[in-house]
Amino acid sequence: MFSKQKFCEDCALPASSHWGFWLEGLADVLLPQRFFGFLHRYLAKPIDLLMEKLFLALHLVKWREDFPLAAVQLRTACFIEEARKSGLKIKALYSPFGPNGNFLVEKNDGHKFRFEVLPDVGFLSKYGPGLVDDKKAGKKLLQKAGLPAPASKFFWFFRQRAAYKYGLKLGWPLVVKPRSGSVARHCYTNITTPEQLKIALKKVVQFSPCLLVERYLAGCSVYRATVVDFTNVFCCQQIPANVVGDGQQTIRQLIDQKNNLPNRGQVQQNNFKLFQIKEDVVTQELLNKKGYDFSSIPLAGEKVFLQKNPFLRLGGDIAEVTAKMHPENKELFERVARLFDLRLVGIDFLASDINMSWPKQTCAILEVNVAPCIEMHQTPSEGKPQNIAQKVVELALKYY
């Protein structure tokens, strides 16, 4: 099904798409955040409406209300499904290639509004989207506010040697990732050798013109917090790919059983949140360390990790941990949302334990996102699901 295009192992996107992200990253760096803020606030909407009317008049696009939810991003589908329960009518703008990511909502009173991905009411923010998309600017704002952020430095693609020297000076372990982007595309963590650092630098500049070298916090878990309207805070934990023994099945059988679950798909399918476990040299290394191979039978209840990184594209799991979140951590996430002046925001957070107050442990805010993956909370691998989509519907009805 996906064999016609060559997909990149590091971002699960067609390799041909790298240039588009590279040029987009170049624009993010060259044009200052204030420019984006002005553009977003005063020019983006009228330009979008003008282009929309032109394309509609030329019959290049059309609005469709009967579009399948599987055709749009999963986070968008979660919102649309909940919005329709509230009586909202939603249309997707279709081109000959399918939906282009623009949606039109009609409220019960006849009022209409548009959104992309999610209705984030970004027009109310004093900042434009550039501040969130730019990891460098966002990190500066966090540090200025005295919030935990790991030591890091940014470099242009032609300064790989300087980035390499900085990494050696900063010390192991390290993280290397693009200056802008999301969902951990071309993000390399727990780098512990000079050779790994060189490889990571080369791979990042294939995707982005500007990169970040950052201190990696060993022994921490990756959490994703979502804040809606400053006060509704939810949190989930990303867990590296694993299987849990039952005392009878082999690791191979457990992997096949998990991969065949109906909620797990191939990483190129955008209507899945969880993906099949990727097996590679890391998998073999972890099994060897335990003295296991694929024919080994783990004990009942024994968790066997098959990847080190918790990335979903590697087959990771999601545990909803909102109920376990320490009150001071909840306050921290609220504070971040207000700092960036965003009424819908996702926060990537590293910590030893979400149940422990953040000042009492090693932790860091990695970045924030304006289009959070609300589906991670809606249907987690474990824990009580949280209906964030309903909160986003309430947000839209309140402010649009």
Q: Which of 374, 222, 393 is nearest to 307 (CA)?
A: 222
- Are 386 and 275 part of one and the same domain? no
Q: Do the domain assignments include residue 298?
A: yes
- Are 173 and 301 part of one and the same domain? no
- Are 196 and 326 part of one and the same domain? yes
- Are 118 and 201 part of one and the same domain? no
For residues 197 and 341, give the distance between their C-alpha atoms in angstroms, rounded to a whole number. Answer: 35
- Are 329 and 214 part of one and the same domain? yes
**What pLDDT shows up at residue 5?**
56
Q: Do the domain assignments include residue 193?
A: yes
C-alpha distance from residue 20 to each of 207, 208, 233, 369 (Å): 9, 10, 34, 20
- Spell out the residues 6+ positions from residue 66 whose beta carbon is closer than 8 angstroms to its own: none
Tokens describing residue 221: 């878990």
Write the DSSP assignment of 237-256 as a string of letters. Answer: EEE-SEEE--SSS-HHHHHH
Name the residue type at position 47: I
Tokens describing residue 344: 């819908």
- Are 343 and 386 part of one and the same domain? yes
CA dihedral (89, 77, 380, 21) in degrees, to 10, reads -140
Q: Which of 281, 308, 335 is the last residue of a domain?
A: 308
The owner of tokens 């334990």 is 353
- Are 48 and 77 part of one and the same domain? yes
Helix axes 388-399, 74-85, angle to 10 degrees: 70
**What pLDDT shows up at residue 50?**
82
pTM score: 0.86
Q: Do the domain assignments include residue 171?
A: yes
- Are 299 and 349 part of one and the same domain? no
CA pseudo-torsion sign 244, 250, 251, 254: negative
- Are 214 and 358 part of one and the same domain? yes
The owner of tokens 């979008």 is 48
Alpha-carbon Rg for the chain, nearest whole angstrom, is: 22
Q: Which of 124, 145, 163 is the last residue of a domain?
A: 124
**What pLDDT shows up at residue 270?**
72
| Cβ atoms < 10 Å from Cβ of 100 | 13
Cis preceding linkage at 173, omega within 30: yes
Q: H-type helices in 269-326, by residue range?
A: 281-290
- Are 200 and 284 part of one and the same domain? no
- Are 26 and 160 part of one and the same domain? no
Residue 215, strand partner residues: 174
| Cβ atoms < 10 Å from Cβ of 382 | 12
**What pLDDT shows up at residue 2?**
44
Please provide the average confidence, as pLDDT, over all residues in the chain. 89
- Spell out the residues 6+ positions from residue 19 whose beta carbon is closer than 8 angstroms to its own: none
Q: Do the domain assignments include residue 65?
A: yes
Tokens describing residue 325: 């979140």
Q: Do the domain assignments include residue 5?
A: no
Number of independent structural domains in the chain: 3
Q: Do the domain assignments include residue 66?
A: yes
Write the DSSP assignment of 12-62 as a string of letters. Answer: SSBGGGHHHHHHHHHHHHHS-HHHHHHIIIIIHHHHHHHHHHHHHHTTS-E
Q: Which of 76, 102, 124 is the last residue of a domain?
A: 124
Residues of the domain holding 291:
243-308
With a cut of 70, which residues of the chain have pLDDT below it? 1-6, 9-13, 15-17, 19, 21, 24-25, 27-45, 128-130, 133, 180-184
Find the distance separating the first CA and the last CA of the chain, reported in whole Å. 40
Q: Are 357 and 326 in contact (CB under 8 A)?
A: yes
**What pLDDT shows up at residue 128?**
64
Q: Do the domain assignments include residue 51?
A: yes
- Are 86 and 100 part of one and the same domain? yes
Task: Kindly report, residue by residue over 326-373, the tens digit of the pLDDT.
Answer: 999 999 999 999 999 999 999 999 999 999 999 999 999 988 988 999
Q: Do the domain assignments include residue 2?
A: no
Q: Label the pairing between strands 174-178 and 210-215.
A: antiparallel
